[in-house]
Amino acid sequence: SNLTVRELAERLNIAETEIIKSLFSKGIAVNITQTLDLETARLVTEELGVLIEVPEVIAAATKQTEMLDAKDLEHLQRRPPVVTIMGHVDHGKTTLLDSIRKTKVAQGEAGGITQHIGAYHVDVEHNGVSQQIVFLDTPGHEAFTAMRARGARVTDMAILVVAADDGVQPQTREAFSHAKAAGVPVVVAINKIDKPDANPDRIKQELSELGLVPEEWGGETIMVPVSALKGENLDTLLEMLLLVSEVEELVANPNRLGKGTVIEANLDRARGPVATLLVQNGTLRVGDAIVAGGVFGKIRAMIDDRGQKVEAASPSFAVEILGLNNVPSAGDEFEVYPTEKEARLIAEKTAETQRNSRLQLAMSSRRVTLTTLSAQAQEGELKELNLILKADVQGSVEALLGALTQLPQNEVQIRVLLAAPGEITETDVDLAAASGAVVVGFNTTLASGARASADHEGVDIREYDIIYKLLDDIQGAMEGLLEPEE
């Protein structure tokens, strides 16, 4: 969600020095590689009068995706939101997805038959007009970690499903941490309200403790009680998603060659390589010369989520395509090029870069460790220290959080992505890898597989049993004073 000065300059098509000067005049010193938050980026766009008539759109666009560039700014149009469903196991994610699909797709569709392509769209009546919502059918946090690890943002918002008879559970917290780390807004679906022991108020209380405070209690989180099983209140949930999407100002430029992200891909015995592509900018068409990661091809056919052949797919829509020379990876970016020859060249280059970077990764350590972060702090390059905290009991978690907030944070801010009692799990490691965080354990152990996964993903796990030692190390890292380990 954040842009460096260089990227913002490229996107706005102005010189980097303009941005640096503009911010300097406001007392903010930045360098070219520094990342700017939305607020600061907005200061620049306003000061420089760049497309001053639509600052929100630019701010939203710069926030949303790396898929837009300066040329798109004049052609931006609203696009449907892309939504993922997250939550604890058995809280009703699958049922909710099926239920929305049934009620919304069955009406008026030829046979109402849907095809599994990893994403589907529904039509919703909102403010008297028919609008669309696109759902990704991948398990929520897997999609998040895999895609974030590759730097692609594919989802605009998340539905966090919480069963009203069970409440906030470990994977509820985890899911929320992922959404928060990705900067994706969350709408809560309090599910299973048809059950006699459902207690929505208790759920709201528990969610408030996580920092998700319902609107009716003065907070900012939309919470909709639903029954996925009985199809109750799903229309309200869908309307709320559209409401949030309006605030997010989701835009793209349909008048250009398509680009986006590979959602799923596999080798079909009869049809050859098959990939589901989420279009994030431009329009994708049959006959296009396309590159997806290190593979390329000419699109022979496109099939939508209703099994229909289509000729074109506009921003936020997902289609299955045929015609690639090989199977790309989920999370790879794709882009259309003017000619097949160009596509082939780019794909070959990308494949080579991918090989090289894999090699480099294997050779050099890319570990984000407390020590490397400390070195960055010393250079004045570290702005945020991302932490994942696990401790033996809730009491320790709270004590740690309390103590951490006491540390001076003028230069470097501590950002706790997840704080919970329990073992350090592989999912913690995944989240750390995806968000450049260090995992800190206090009086706790590693779940099986966590160590191997941390080694594999280059994640630093620090274990402590003395609280002041832990605080010392964190403070040392923030001040750039942490001694390198041997």
Residue ranges in contact with ligand GDP by CB under 6 A: 87, 89-95, 191-192, 194-195, 227-229
Which is nearer to ligand GDP, 91 or 178 (by Cβ)?
Answer: 91
Which is nearer to ligand GDP, 227 or 283 (by Cβ)?
Answer: 227
- Closest approach of ligand GDP to the CB of residue 145, in Å: 18
Q: Check whether 441 is labelled as a binding-site residue.
A: no
- Closest approach of ligand GDP to the CB of residue 91, in Å: 5
- Closest approach of ligand GDP to the CB of residue 304, in Å: 24
- Closest approach of ligand GDP to the CB of residue 322, in Å: 30
Q: Check whether 193 is labelled as a binding-site residue.
A: yes
- Closest approach of ligand GDP to the CB of residue 273, in Å: 29
Which is nearer to ligand GDP, 140 or 294 (by Cβ)?
Answer: 140
Q: Check whether 309 is labelled as a binding-site residue.
A: no
Q: Check whether 178 is labelled as a binding-site residue.
A: no
Q: Check whether 484 is labelled as a binding-site residue.
A: no
Those residues with Cβ within 8 angstroms of residue 397's Cβ, 6 or more apart along the chain or in another chain = 389, 391, 419, 420, 421
- Closest approach of ligand GDP to the CB of residue 195, in Å: 5
Query: How far is the C-alpha of 91 from the C-alpha of 448, rounded, in Å?
Result: 25
**Among candidates 388, 393, 382, 392, which has minimal Cα distance to 404?**
388
Which is nearer to ligand GDP, 229 or 310 (by Cβ)?
Answer: 229
CB 259 within 8 A of CB 277: no
Q: Check whether 91 is labelled as a binding-site residue.
A: yes
**Among candidates 207, 105, 102, 126, which has minimal Cα distance to 160?**
207
Q: How many residues does the chain have?
A: 486
Which is nearer to ligand GDP, 91 or 180 (by Cβ)?
Answer: 91
Q: Check whether 151 is labelled as a binding-site residue.
A: no
Which is nearer to ligand GDP, 174 or 457 (by Cβ)?
Answer: 174
Bridge partners of 267, per DSSP, are 273
- Closest approach of ligand GDP to the CB of residue 413, in Å: 34
- What distance separates the 2 farthest-apart alpha carbons in the chain? 67
Task: Give ∠ CA 411-413-417 in degrees, rounded to 5.
Answer: 165
Which is nearer to ligand GDP, 29 or 89 (by Cβ)?
Answer: 89
Residues tagged in the binding site annotation for GTP = 87-94, 137-141, 191-194
Annotated binding site: 87-94, 137-141, 191-194
